[in-house]
Amino acid sequence: MHHIIRFLVLFSLCCTPLLSGGSHALASSESKPPDTLVLAIGGEDKTGYDPTLGWGRYGSPMFQSTLLKFDADMKIVNDLATAYSLSKDGLVWTIDIRHDVKFSNNTPLTAEDVAFTFNTAAKSGGLVDLAHMAVAKALDRNRVQIALQENDSTFINRLITLGIVPKNFHGPDYPRKPIGSGPYMLEEWNEGQQMIVKANPYYYGAQPFFKRIVFLYTPEDTSFAAAKAGQVQMAAVPAMLAKQHVPGMTIHAVKSVDNRGLMFPTVPDTGKKTDKGYSIGNNVTADPAIRRAITIAIDRKALVQGVLEGYGRPAYGVCDGLPWDNPNNSFQDNDQAGAATLLQKAGWIDSDGDGIREKKGLKAEFTIIYPANRSERQYMALSVADTLKKIGIQANVEEKPDFDEIQKVMHKDVVVFGWGAHDPMELYQLYNTKFAGVEYNNVGYYSNPQVDENLEKAISARNLEEAIPFWQAAQVYVKEDAPWAWMVNLDHTYFVNDHLDIGKSQIEPHGHGWPITANIHEWKWKK
């Protein structure tokens, strides 16, 4: 109830000017179309909206434009670029850009701005992955050249995700006062409450139908209450609420590669700690037999139906269905008999009859961690724990208040994590030995020389097409080692006003930012 009260207070304080009349007043379906939308879809980036610091890597940056972009069918198309080419040795990109582009402050966007953006992002300490870039330079006003130090088959993804910033108007305050060439520009940001954006009058594309958009930063239950009260035109809701009836709104389910999986510590506990003093390793999950048994025992279809209300699909890897996915990743799951046999052969036996297997005096017991504000992860953890009891594994489910607390235990406990990107670099960072213990990447310290070899070959291939066989080969070994038990791919679910036409949505990545707004310049009101 306190969330609903908080929403109504915020709404009355922050949004009354938009509702009380004038050219920006919200309209009902019977009156003229509104020129302002109110959306409760999350997406606040508390670090600000600077692409050189990572904003936009999980979807359209909105305030800024990119050189290339994905269309609704996930095909790469031009945005700022009019043409691009890669040298035969795979080391030099040459991009021609549009002549008619201005930033939202009415200054021209040129190749100098593109070069500045890439060079600045490369110095951001890894927030944007430009480790293989040497330098970007403007060849003339509308042509830029980006040189690589070595081949990087994933570099084209940086052309798709890195929003261009203005060289002459980029400084310490930029993250909270972004200037770009995207369809919308920032008007007001009340952190933790709402953001108001308005149409960029200098946008090079067709002017958006909606002149203003209000983003409300409310919890999921509050967003749902706002939708039921008719106070928003779109609300992102968890799948558990997607079957509810909201008058005047229809659920819009978007397929995604936003997955949920159990991350296993793959090394034993030898007393080693991180530089922050956090323990590394788990003697139970270090046994591949435990990890494989869990992987085949999980009933993924039951998780989709029972936890996600059918809004999702089983997950067998981190990139299911993407071009670099290995189609042989899938397997027969919900196989508790096979899992029990596998454990028995590996020496895990319930010798004392307490229902928990042991091996050399070690109980098959561990903790599954989930964050307190992620209800679907809680339900998945509890469901999996029930399944594992059937095969003699005791999984104790534990909540942590936030990811700061999860960081302290994520190298020793099993964690329900979420990933999913339109970029094969995710494979590289999750499974490569060199990323073991680096931030949230390979937190389980997984290592396999054959995996590393194929990942390096994939990265050093000239382009994405030549890299795909190596990405797929790496996944063969990963499947056998089972450093993760991938469970489901979510559908992202939104209640959308019946009069709001949002067109065709892309397959969405992990739910940071506003992936649903990738085509927001095409949204319109229909009768």
Q: Are residues 396 and 472 in the same domain?
A: yes
- Residue 31 has a pLDDT of 63
Which has the minimum average pLDDT: 9-23, 99-113, 182-196, 211-225? 9-23
Average pLDDT over residues 276-285: 97
What does the DSSP assignment read for 42-75? ----TT-S-GGGTTTTTS--SSS--SEEE-TTS-
pLDDT beyond 60 at 21:
no
Q: Are residues 483 and 505 in the same domain?
A: no
For residue 59, is it within any domain? no
- Residue 2 has a pLDDT of 35
pLDDT beyond 90 at 514:
no
CATH code of the domain containing 454? 3.10.105.10
**What's the domain count of the chain?**
3
Domain boundary among 180, 203, 222: 180
Quickly tell me which residue has 């290995």 as its tokens.
326
pLDDT-derived band at 73 (thresholds 50, 70, 90) equals confident
Q: Are residues 240 and 297 in the same domain?
A: no
pLDDT beyond 90 at 452:
yes
409-432 tens-digit pLDDT:
999 999 999 999 889 999 999 999
Q: How many CB atoms are closer than 10 A to CB 287?
A: 21
As a whole-number percent, the residues of the chain with pLDDT over 90 amount to 83
pLDDT beyond 90 at 510:
no
- Residue 127 has a pLDDT of 80
pLDDT-derived band at 57 (thresholds 50, 70, 90) equals confident
- Residue 33 has a pLDDT of 86
Q: Are residues 350 and 201 in the same domain?
A: no
For residue 54, is it within any domain? no
For residue 435, is it within any domain? yes
- Residue 386 has a pLDDT of 98
For residue 404, is it within any domain? yes
Judging by beta carbons within 10 Å of its beta carbon (0-12, 13-18, 19+), is residue 108 exposed, middle or buried?
A: middle
Bridge partners, 525 (sequence order): 500
Token pair, residue 145, equals 């050249």
Asked whether 287 and 362 are in contact (CB, 8 A), the reply is no
For residue 176, is it within any domain? yes
- Residue 259 has a pLDDT of 95
pLDDT beyond 90 at 22:
no
How many helices (H) and strands (E) the chain has is answered by 12, 21
Domain boundary among 180, 197, 218: 180
Q: Are residues 426 and 310 in the same domain?
A: yes
Bridge partners, 95 (sequence order): 84, 144
Query: What is the span of the domain harbouring residue 274?
Result: 257-490
Question: Using N-to-C axis directions, what is the helix angle for 288-297 and 464-481, rounded to 10°?
Answer: 100
103-156 tens-digit pLDDT:
999 999 999 999 999 999 999 877 888 989 999 999 999 999 999 999 999 999
Quickly tell me which residue has 């369809």 as its tokens.
183
pLDDT beyond 90 at 1:
no
Q: Are residues 398 and 287 in the same domain?
A: yes
For residue 57, is it within any domain? no
Query: What is the C-alpha radius of gyration for the chain, rounded to an integer number of angstroms?
Result: 24
Question: How many angstroms separate the Cα of 500 from the Cα of each of 38, 209, 232, 520?
Answer: 11, 11, 11, 11
CATH code of the domain containing 526? 3.40.190.10
Average pLDDT over residues 295-303: 98
Report the DSSP pairing between strands 92-97 and 143-148: antiparallel
Question: How many angstroms separate the Cα of 214 from the Cα of each of 103, 211, 217, 277?
Answer: 21, 10, 10, 43
Q: Are residues 173 and 34 in the same domain?
A: no
Average pLDDT over residues 293-299: 98
338-368 tens-digit pLDDT:
999 999 999 999 999 999 999 999 999 999 9
pLDDT beyond 70 at 329:
yes
Most distant CA atoms of the chain, gap in Å: 77
Average pLDDT over residues 290-297: 98
For residue 52, is it within any domain? no
Q: Are residues 263 and 358 in the same domain?
A: yes
Asked whether 433 and 417 are in contact (CB, 8 A), the reply is no
- Residue 12 has a pLDDT of 38
* 313 membership: H or E segment, kind and range: strand 312-314
pLDDT-derived band at 527 (thresholds 50, 70, 90) equals confident
pLDDT beyond 70 at 4:
no
Q: What is the dihedral of CA 145, 149, 153, 156, to 10 degrees?
A: -30
Name the residue with higher pLDDT: 252 or 24: 252
Average pLDDT over residues 471-485: 98
pLDDT beyond 80 at 51:
yes
**265-283 as b/e, with b when 16 or more CB fall inside 10 Å?**
bbbeeeeeeeeeeebbbbb
Task: Please state the φ and ψ torsions of residue 412, each to the nearest 5 degrees.
Answer: -125, -20
pLDDT beyond 60 at 463:
yes
Domain boundary among 122, 150, 180: 180
For residue 159, is it within any domain? yes
> Alpha helix locations (H) across 192-298?
220-228, 288-297
Q: Are residues 140 and 99 in the same domain?
A: yes
Q: Are residues 81 and 168 in the same domain?
A: yes
Mean pLDDT of the chain: 92
Q: Are residues 217 and 84 in the same domain?
A: no
Q: Are residues 341 and 477 in the same domain?
A: yes
pLDDT-derived band at 396 (thresholds 50, 70, 90) equals very high
